Amino acid sequence: MSARLIDGKAVAQTIQVGLQARIAERASRGLKAPALATVLVGEDPASQIYVRNKRRTCETLGIRSVPIHLDAGIDNAELLATIDRLNADDSVDGILVQLPLPRQLDATTVIERIRPDKDVDGFHPYNLGRLAQRLPTLRPCTPYGVIELLRSTGESFHGKRAVVVGASNIVGRPMGLELLLAGCTTTVCHRFTRDLAAEVARAEIVVVAVGKPGLVRGEWIAPGATVIDVGMNRNADGSLSGDVEFAPAAERAAWITPVPGGVGPMTVTMLMSNTLKAAESRAA
Ligand code: GUN
């Protein structure tokens, strides 16, 4: 392997230390702790793990966690009533509704009901629109975390050819907006892209967020590229792997993220950063 590893755990830790200090400094001025409400609907095992991790990280950093667990069978009106209550609660700075939601619930309606200044996931059309207009406020956590990982390499973004593989609302699309904001010439690939190999081979920065193990072949990676793998796929033996064939990609890339230990630790860290930001702007 010739690529250097981008250590997401270390970058996340550095950012968390800074957040912890800012939160402690607020407390020393008599300000209340930032508060994050995490809404979990039902018993999806992966969602339970993600939400538990978010709640624990809150406690580590001095953010007040407001855990809300709703029954899998609730209807839209009940979930919207919960959002309305949290929107109106002055002691709550951030609201996160863990996705995916059970089938009978409509995620779009729910996301649009969250007050944009409490939308710490950055999924509300107001916050995405601000990002699209180069006026970022609360930024989607995973793409924001990827930008921090790219920044940690010390390489410049300006004029770089960036290719995003995957066009989901949560990662791919906002990732495209973030890279554009950072000055890259940005292409977003998706299921109708005709020649994915050729698109990836042109890229100086590749971000892959699809959820298919090994989708991006190592031989597609341009020599010297930076490769960010957002994929988190569970193998039959219980281990995790990304969307990029790691070993052959690492032979060619200059920088690459491991899975696990790359993007994963950044998502929760940027959620904490957004929660502090929401608290700071409410106090202002
Ligand atoms: N499900 C998968 N990723 C996310 C995320 O970043 N936020 C929320 N709320 N749900 C998710």
* Ligand 1 proximity of 267 Cβ (cutoff 6 Å): yes
Q: Which residues are annotated as a binding site?
A: 166-168
Angle of helix 264-283 relative to helix 45-61, nearest 10 degrees, comes to: 50
pLDDT in tens, 130-185: 999 999 999 999 999 999 999 999 999 999 999 999 999 999 999 999 999 999 99
User: How many A from CA of 176 to the centre of ligand 1?
Assistant: 18
- Marked catalytic residue, from 16, 93, 98, 117: 98
Residue 89: pLDDT band with limits 50, 70, 90: very high
Q: Please tell me if the CB atom of residue 99 comes closer than 6 angstroms to any atom of ligand 1.
A: yes
120 lines ligand 1 (CB under 6 A): no
Q: Which residues of 104-127 are buried (b: 16+ CB within 10 A; e: fewer)?
A: ebeeeebbebbbbbbbbbbbbebb
Residue 95: its pLDDT value, please? 99
Tell me the H-state helices in the chain. 8-28, 45-61, 76-88, 107-113, 125-132, 141-152, 172-181, 196-201, 246-252, 264-283
The string of pLDDT tens digits covering residues 173-222 is 999 999 999 999 999 999 999 999 999 999 999 999 999 999 999 999 99
**Mean pLDDT along residues 79-88:** 98
Residue 260: asked if its preceding bond is cis (omega within 30°), the reply is yes
Residue 230: pLDDT band by 50, 70, 90 thresholds?
very high
What is the model's pLDDT at position 1?
76
Write down the pTM of the prediction. Answer: 0.97
Q: Would you call 98 a catalytic residue per the annotation?
A: yes
Mutating to test ligand 1, I would choose from 48, 120, 121, 266 the residue with most ligand atoms within 8 A of its C-beta, which is: 121
Asked if pLDDT for residue 283 goes beyond 70, the answer is: no
Residue 44 falls in the annotated catalytic set = no
Query: How far is ligand 1, taken at its centre, from the CA of residue 70, in Å?
Result: 17
Residue 68 pairs in a beta bridge with 39
Domains defined for the chain, CATH in brackets: 30-118 (3.40.50.10860), 141-263 (3.40.50.720)
Work out the pLDDT band at 284, boundaries 50, 70, 90: low
